[in-house]
Amino acid sequence: MTLAEMPVPADPESRSPSDLQRLTEAILAFRDERDWKQFHSLRHLIVSLNLEAAELLELTQWKSDADMAALVADPAGREALADECADVLLYLLLLTAEAGIDLPAAALAKIGKNAAKYPVEKARGSSRKYTELE
């Protein structure tokens, strides 16, 4: 399916509850049960998201592609990778909830912007930035 073929309801209210929405509700409930909202300013959430992303990055430090394939093949390594990915996702959900951002709508809008900057006929197979495409 291409981007143009994807059905996307513009109105968030017309969409059915998604896994992302349920995850957001779950992490907000987890936070609220512990009275942690007081620590979750937008700035602190952005910092925390980046700290978790750095922990994800740390898993790759000094590793080759073969090392990474071995990490994913090992159940303990795969679990460590999954845990760090989950931490990044959960902080992103907290951040977007705090900022009032509809994450699925924002992501789809960004894909549309990227599609305009990187037309298939110019970008296919190229790693160049959109400003360098001819």
CATH code of the domain containing 54:
1.10.287.1080
Which residue do the tokens 């900022």 mark?
Answer: 99
Which domain does 80 fall in, by range? Answer: 42-123
In a domain, 76, yes or no: yes
Nearest to 30 by CA among 72, 93, 80: 93
The reported pLDDT for the residue numbered 18 is 86
pLDDT at position 16 is: 66
Residue 19 included in any domain: no
Distance (Å, whole) CA 45 – CA 24: 14
Predicted confidence at residue 19, as pLDDT, reads 87
Does residue 64 fall inside a structural domain?
yes
Residue 108 falls inside a structural domain: yes
Residue ranges, the chain, pLDDT below 70: 1-17
Task: Say how far apart CA 18 and CA 9 lie, in whole Å.
Answer: 13
As for how many domains the chain has, the answer is 1
Res 41: pLDDT? 98
Q: Does 13 map to a domain?
A: no
48 within some domain: yes
Q: What's the pLDDT at 124?
A: 92
User: Quick one: pLDDT at residue 7?
Assistant: 60
Residue 133: inside a domain, yes or no? no
- Read off the pLDDT of residues 22-57 as tens digits, 9 standing for 90 and up: 999 999 999 999 999 999 999 999 999 999 999 999
Residue 58 lies in a domain: yes
